[in-house]
Amino acid sequence: MKRQTALSCAAVLFAVTAVAHGAGEPTPAERAVGYRQSVFHVIAGNFGPMAGMVKGEIPFDAKAFALRAERVAFLSTLPLEGFIPDSRVGKTDAKQEIWDNMDDFKAKMESFQTEAGKLAEAAKTASAIDALKPQFGKVGQACKDCHDKYKED
């Protein structure tokens, strides 16, 4: 059920992104950009509240944290399919280096998936935020590693 919710969110955001790009049928590259941007947007929407809990900016809610961690773990498996050849079109922060170094990019995405999965597992049984901070940091570092090399500022 939770996967269906995550997929529904991604589909809605994809549809909204496609409509926002204007009239006419989008190209496969434009669809790929909209897809990956939508997924990353949903990831950020779930990662942000967890970061707030880790930083002590919002109260820790174990159930909410676990749900968001599960979503991020699932969503982390989706963006790569949006990086099809020649999909650095339109408004995108993706650097050309992604396609020039696809094996390294895939390895970084797989690291993100692995670390996000570990966070989701840890969050299932954690009753205190301190138990989750180290793994949350690893997920954040996996994001940063990819962003530093492959995302425009």
Q: What is the pLDDT of residues 92-107, one digit of tens each?
A: 999 999 999 999 999 9
Supply the pLDDT for residue 23.
Answer: 64
Domain extent, residue 70, equals 2-150
Contact between residue 146 and residue 88 where contact means Cβ atoms under 8 Å apart: no
Residues comprising the binding site for heme c?
143, 146-147
Which residue's entry shows tokens 């995302």?
Answer: 151
- When divided into structural domains, the chain yields a total of 1
Contact between residue 73 and residue 114 where contact means Cβ atoms under 8 Å apart: no
Supply the pLDDT for residue 7.
Answer: 52
CA distance 34 to 41: 10
- Tallying the residues shown for the chain, one arrives at 153
Task: Give me the DSSP letters along 70-98.
Answer: HHHHHHTTSGGGG--TT---SS--B-THH
Supply the pLDDT for residue 4.
Answer: 55
b/e sequence 48-78, b meaning 16+ C-beta within 10 Å = ebbeebbeeeeebebebbbbbbbbbbbbbeb
Residues comprising the binding site?
143, 146-147
Q: What is the pLDDT of residues 36-45, one digit of tens each?
A: 999 999 999 9
Q: What is the pLDDT of residues 113-137, one digit of tens each?
A: 999 999 999 999 999 999 999 999 9
Q: What is the pLDDT of residues 62-87, one digit of tens each?
A: 999 999 999 999 999 999 999 999 99
Residue 34: band (very low, low, confident or very high) from pLDDT cuts 50, 70, 90: very high
Of the candidates 47, 48, 34, 33, the residue with the CA atom closest to the CA atom of residue 76: 47
Query: CATH number for the domain including 123?
Result: 1.20.120.10
Please say if the pLDDT value at position 88 is more than 70. yes
